[in-house]
A and B are shown apart, each in its own frame.
Chain A
């Protein structure tokens, strides 16, 4: 190891500026694409952007429904059963005295949002997170049973709700079921970390406007996220049963026309793959661009093993990778958050990152193939007998 480090130190000192610049540009380029994976960009129904701190993988599949009739044909129970998630729409909340308020949004964890605050209808995932957040409770406890909810203290004030009171959730669509919930707790949202229940939310309908509505099914679990693609056909099939007027004959066509896979974030395997690919590519690049094959030959002549030679170039590649990745990661994040945001807000350009998960892998493959090809075309084998041949030729 020590001898490898010695040569890395010496060789890095001799590296031409050109290779560092090339490596920098390539890494910036690739990092920008990788950033596209880790930064949520949804320019379709408004701009939401955040860094996925958990690096968990998920896919949002959006079904664009044309009318509220279509929406209501997908019953919440059925969607829950099919997709392990909640689906609801804007509702009216009404207390026992008939005092009401409107909600407009829905959270991933089935929270209903109003201008005043949130009402939590917990699923198991949220519950497990909130159990440890007792300091956010103003009174009562987190809802655990069916037909229980927790409400934001501002909502509670507005509707004069106390723990034990009953609140009705009344869908705007008359045919949808009306449900009653008992308030199990009142909470203050401030102490809660955002990602407890506020990771993201999306607009379902605007109050009293049902002419155009969207419903989405959300897959949160990293494993099921990948599996969800393969289940797509089944899901559409189940929608078909509900009587939706969907052209289901060609799932692939429908996939691109009606469904947006907005994001497939990095998971550990992809990240490792990225790192390994980049280091391999840089190793080949360093060896190729530095044209150090004669050096390799001479090293072998003087007693360097193949492992030592590879270790030297691998080490150089890692050094380049680390340095330029640190620099370029900043560029990548800037590119994704600010550049895209600028395009959206200033130039009114919309982006869809449907293929963002594929592009970096493709670019790796192309880059690797190119480098390997150039390496092969150089027509020189990395063997000490090159020197023997040269000597012979002389």
Chain B
């Protein structure tokens, strides 16, 4: 469960003050697939960053599974990112020189897990994103769609409660976008909570709930009647 209460993010001060996110209150239940949409500059990525602890809140609070994330520091913050959240970005953010296996294994290593258990988990995650045959390839040699699938495998490897995806199909063509969205749908079907930022209407309608932002504020929060 993610609870946002009066969340505000202010950049600059005085005359240059800019409210990227302005007094947002939102609840996201476990198992939901939520799409956050809006025009460029509407604050959707900022909101995702605040939930993912990549940016700090100026005003308000965010609790994730009852934990106030604004107060997390050091090891607690690292544990939160490692265990509770799986990130997927438009630009993938993979390690180009690492093999697919190494890249996907990183969160497990950081969690202190080694050996056969890791092998099994990595195999399972790569099978889920249909990349079992690319296990030994360096990530830089993969196509965009394949890289994004590696990123998804890495995001789910620690079985996090929430997957935060920021324009996951932004750099992909139609076919690859479809594949990625199908993976998200499968993950959702397995019970994972997914929060996805997108400006693509078609992608947004793959989610069961669509939150629309404008000027940092929520202007609509609706169930997706087309969700199937």
- Chain A interface residues toward B at CB < 8 A: 2-3, 6-7, 10, 14, 294-295, 298-308, 384-385, 387-388, 390-392, 394
Candidates B78, B90, B111; contact of A300 at CB < 8 Å:
B78
Q: Which residues of chain B come closer than 8 Å to A10, judged between CB atoms?
A: 98, 102
Q: Smallest CB-CB separation from B158: which chain A residue?
A: A303
Candidates B93, B110, B114, B166; contact of A304 at CB < 8 Å:
B110
Bound-state CA distance A295–B98 (Å) is 11
**Known contacts A303-B111, A387-B89; can you find 11 more A-B pairs with CB under 8 A?**
A3-B114, A303-B82, A304-B110, A385-B54, A385-B55, A387-B54, A387-B93, A388-B46, A388-B55, A391-B49, A392-B20
Q: Which residues of chain B come closer than 8 Å to A384, judged between CB atoms?
A: 53-54, 81
Total interface residues on B, CB under 8 Å, equals 37
Candidates B74, B81, B93; contact of A306 at CB < 8 Å:
B74
Determine if A391 and B83 form an interchain contact, defined as CB atoms under 8 angstroms apart. Answer: no
Interface centre among A294, A300, A302 (most CB of B within 10 A): A302
Determine if B112 and A302 form an interchain contact, defined as CB atoms under 8 angstroms apart. Answer: no
With A303-B78, A391-B89, A392-B46 already in contact, the answer to whether A298 and B110 are too (CB < 8 A) is no
Q: Smallest CB-CB separation from B49: which chain A residue?
A: A388
Bound-state CA distance A304–B97 (Å) is 19
With A2-B114, A388-B49 already in contact, the answer to whether A305 and B75 are too (CB < 8 A) is yes
Candidates A3, A298, A300, A391; contact of B166 at CB < 8 Å:
A391
Bound-state CA distance A10–B46 (Å) is 33
Bound-state CA distance A391–B80 (Å) is 20
Interface status of B79 (Cβ within 8 A of chain A): yes
Q: Which residues of chain B come closer than 8 Å to A304, judged between CB atoms?
A: 78, 82, 110
The secondary structure that dominates the A interface is: helix
Candidates B20, B46, B83, B110; contact of A299 at CB < 8 Å:
B110
Bound-state CA distance A387–B83 (Å) is 19
Minimum C-beta distance from B48 to chain A (A): 8
Minimum C-beta distance from B224 to chain A (A): 25
Interface status of B38 (Cβ within 8 A of chain A): no
Q: Smallest CB-CB separation from A292: which chain B residue?
A: B95
With A3-B112, A384-B54, A391-B45 already in contact, the answer to whether A302 and B89 are too (CB < 8 A) is no
Q: Smallest CB-CB separation from B107: which chain A residue?
A: A302
Determine if A302 and B81 form an interchain contact, defined as CB atoms under 8 angstroms apart. Answer: yes
Interface status of B33 (Cβ within 8 A of chain A): no
Candidates B20, B90, B97; contact of A391 at CB < 8 Å:
B90
Q: Smallest CB-CB separation from A14: which chain B residue?
A: B97
Residues 79-104 of B, flagged 1 when their CB comes within 8 A of A and 0 if not, give 11111000101110101011000100
Interface status of B109 (Cβ within 8 A of chain A): yes
Q: Which residues of chain B come closer than 8 Å to A306, judged between CB atoms?
A: 74
Determine if B81 and A392 form an interchain contact, defined as CB atoms under 8 angstroms apart. Answer: no
Q: Which residues of chain A come closer than 8 Å to B89, judged between CB atoms?
A: 387, 391
Q: Which residues of chain B come closer than 8 Å to A14, judged between CB atoms?
A: 97
Interface status of B106 (Cβ within 8 A of chain A): yes
Bound-state CA distance A294–B93 (Å) is 9
Determine if B45 and A392 form an interchain contact, defined as CB atoms under 8 angstroms apart. Answer: yes
Bound-state CA distance A301–B111 (Å) is 13
Interface status of B154 (Cβ within 8 A of chain A): yes
Q: Which residues of chain B come closer than 8 Å to A387, judged between CB atoms?
A: 54, 89, 93
Minimum C-beta distance from A282 to chain B (A): 21
Candidates B20, B114, B158; contact of A6 at CB < 8 Å:
B114
Minimum C-beta distance from B183 to chain A (A): 19
Determine if A299 and B55 form an interchain contact, defined as CB atoms under 8 angstroms apart. Answer: no
Determine if B81 and A394 form an interchain contact, defined as CB atoms under 8 angstroms apart. Answer: no
Bound-state CA distance A394–B90 (Å) is 9
Minimum C-beta distance from B71 to chain A (A): 16
Could you jot down 26 A-B contacts, CB within 8 Å? A2-B114, A3-B112, A6-B114, A10-B98, A298-B93, A300-B78, A300-B81, A301-B81, A301-B87, A301-B93, A302-B81, A302-B82, A302-B107, A303-B78, A303-B81, A303-B111, A303-B158, A305-B78, A306-B74, A308-B78, A385-B54, A385-B55, A387-B54, A388-B49, A391-B49, A394-B91
